[in-house]
Structure 1
Amino acid sequence: MNTLAKIAIAAGAGLVAGGVLGVLFAPDKGENTRKKITDSGKKLTDTVKEKMGNLKVNIRGKTEAVKEGMEEFA
């Protein structure tokens, strides 16, 4: 995993942790708090899916570049 991916994962985890802690310590009704946590979880899931999709595309591109480079030497 490259440095950029590690930074993105760490930043995402920090945002989620901060959001969850903020929601848990904010004075609000339990129902509202649970809804906020659920919404945050859905947002996190969407973000992770997007990042994994981007990573997948990036890896495919690099794999193709390596294949092309290997074909030149073959």
Structure 2
Amino acid sequence: MSNNTNTALGILAGTAIGATLGILFAPDKGSVTRRKISEKATETTDAIGAKAMEVKEAIVSSAQDHKASMDERISELVEDGSYKAEDLITALETKLEVLKKKNKNLRSA
């Protein structure tokens, strides 16, 4: 995870903990305190869920970008290898012709 994501999650967790402690030490009736805690828990759960979706989307996007880049690089390597193979075949054919001529000259002599 990136530093920004870690920082955001830390701030979110700190806020949730601070809000919960503030509610617990507030001079309210038990039922009011429980309702506030329930509301804060729901808010925090929603915020964490939203942040998790955001992180997931960033990871998926990054993976897709890397896959596209990798596919392009592989295509370039295959194409480059194809040209090199063609050059090698041409060079070998030329050498083979030279060897055939030498062999023919040796047989003639």
Q: Aligned residue for 1:62?
A: 62
Which sections of structure 2, spanning at least 5 residues, go unmatched?
75-109
- Bigger relative contact order, structure 1 or 2, given CA contacts below 8 A and separation 6+? 1
Q: Aligned residue for 2:106?
A: none
Q: Aligned residue for 1:16?
A: 16
Deviation at 1:51, TM superposition (A): 0.3
* Distance of 1:36 and 1:22 partners within structure 2: 10
Q: Aligned residue for 2:31?
A: 31
The letter of the residue matching 2:62 is K
TM-score by length of 1: 0.97
Q: Compare CA radii of gyration and give the structure with the larger one.
A: 2
What is the number of equivalent residue pairs in this alignment?
74
Alpha-carbon displacement from aligned partner over 1:4-39 (angstroms, at most 9, x marks no partner)? 110011000110011001101110000000000000
Q: Aligned residue for 1:7?
A: 7
The letter of the residue matching 2:41 is G
The letter of the residue matching 2:5 is A
User: Helix, strand or coil: the match of 1:13?
Assistant: helix
TM-score by length of 2: 0.67
Task: Give the aligned CA root-mean-square deviation in angstroms.
Answer: 0.5
Which sections of structure 1, spanning at least 5 residues, go unmatched?
none
